[in-house]
Structure 1
Amino acid sequence: MLEDALGRQPVLAGEQLFSGRIWDVERQEFELGGERIVREVIVHPGAVAVAALNELGEVMLVHQYRHPAGGTLWELPAGLLDVDGEDPLVAAQRELAEETDLEAGSWRTLVDLSPSGGGSTEIIRVYLATDVRELPEQHARVHEEAAMERRWVPLEEVVEAALAMRLHNATLLSAVLALHAMRARGAEPHAVDAPFDWHPAHRP
């Protein structure tokens, strides 16, 4: 069976190089194959994202300016796991409400991903939300979210745009292609409480 293997080498020496608003950077030294190796690591809190699917087979997307990427990207509603002790599902439900004014009656786990495993500890859990409905009140949005567009887009249209290289957000690409493959194969998403042990805070 093809499967990633969880098992982190002990950090033999470490130093914090930078402390930021969202993530830190550490120099970490570890041993691998009898050799001591030094790497600079982005220590990230992780994140959640939501593929909200309505009864028409449309996915809720948000169009948000991303300064580091140099443009405005189509993305899934998402947010950081930066509240100590907050359950990832609760964080996902909060982000869906805050970014799109939606709530969902059914939640499953779609995919977990490591966007940059060679340099960052970030792990993202993507949930599939169905039985979606509008909330009675809209949330106030600030900063990049203030002008953020939200749009329901047919899943097949998102897949077509992904395959044509018109979309670039890694979480969106991973989620919609996984959802498309699952539906084509008749496979079911995972349980909402599937183990999240690749996230440092949720390891056994």
Structure 2
Amino acid sequence: MAASEPAANTVDHAGVFSSETGHRYEVVDSDIAFIGRIISVRRDAVRMPDGGVSQRDVIVHPGAVGVVALDEADRVVMVYQYRHPVRRPLWELPAGILDVPGEPPVEAAARELAEEANLTAGRWDLLVDVLASPGMTNEAYRVFLARDLATIPLSDQHVRVHEEADMQIARVDLDKAVGQILDGAITNAMAVVGLLAAATARLNGFTRLRPVDAPWPDRPRSVG
């Protein structure tokens, strides 16, 4: 390693993070403060570089996937869904949590595309990986690019319930969708990241995309 290159950060087998300065961010105590239907809240006591111990509350999430479904006319499939924490519907990508044990992320994405948009895709690529808000949660999501779209026959379409019962579906020109991001009309984080990533990837003909099974080290492994 050259003198100008910093030492690499590492995580040992016990999950203790060692920074490039040599400090070990050791969790000296941990407990579960809350368990909900999807998330839990873990309270960690962490040894800091100054020798003190500081509490860090972590929202533990199972992870999620999203889909930028791009049709032959360069339109993306968007869904309009009510989100209770912000008390209004948002324009989003077809997406969902990784709640089926052992299910590969791309299969989860295909399931969500079918359930929310009544579509299948003949081609899948990995578009982008995201840490949602690493200051307070381990939530990570993986966004795929789906192309060669086909509509699922009406008799085989998923019956939507809860917030999805009144979900609207639209196809929007990708350039128009990017403009809606800049105008503040699309604010869902996954949609913002996925659409901007798709528009950027399109500039070089989608030639730099990773395979759908590329390593995903930040994928959450448990909800506890």
> By the TM > 0.5 criterion, same fold?
yes
- Residue 94 of structure 2 corresponds to which residue in structure 1? 77
Q: CA deviation at 1:6?
A: 7.0
Aligned residues of 1:6 and 1:198 also touching (Cα < 8 A):
no
Q: Does residue 181 in structure 1 map to residue 197 in structure 2?
A: no
Residues 32-111 of structure 1: matches in 2 within 5 Å?
32-33=48-49, 34-111=51-128
**RMSD of Structure 2 on Structure 1 (CA):** 1.9
Counterpart Cα distance in 2 of 1:181 and 1:98: 27
Identity of aligned residues (%): 44
Which ranges in structure 1 are unaligned for 5 or more consecutive residues?
none
Structure (1 or 2) with the larger CA radius of gyration: 2
- Residue 161 of structure 2 corresponds to which residue in structure 1? 142
Counterpart Cα distance in 1 of 2:200 and 2:62: 29
Aligned residues of 2:131 and 2:139 also touching (Cα < 8 A):
yes
Per the alignment, do residues 83 and 5 of structure 1 end up closer, same or farther by CA in structure 2, a change over 3 Å counting?
Answer: farther
Q: CA deviation at 1:185?
A: 4.2
> Which of 158, 161, 171 is 1:152 aligned to?
171
Aligned residues of 2:67 and 2:145 also touching (Cα < 8 A):
yes
- Residue 164 of structure 1 corresponds to which residue in structure 2? 183
TM-score relative to the length of structure 1:
0.92
- Residue 25 of structure 1 corresponds to which residue in structure 2? 41
Counterpart Cα distance in 1 of 2:119 and 2:10: 35
Q: CA deviation at 1:201?
A: 2.6
Aligned residues of 1:112 and 1:126 also touching (Cα < 8 A):
yes
Q: CA deviation at 1:81?
A: 0.6
Which ranges in structure 2 are unaligned for 5 or more consecutive residues?
12-16, 18-24
> Which of 195, 210, 213 is 1:193 aligned to?
213
- Residue 16 of structure 1 corresponds to which residue in structure 2? 32
Counterpart Cα distance in 2 of 1:131 and 1:201: 32
Q: CA deviation at 1:12?
A: 2.0
Q: 1:150 corresponds to which letter in structure 2?
A: I
- How many aligned positions are there? 200
Q: CA deviation at 1:10?
A: 4.2
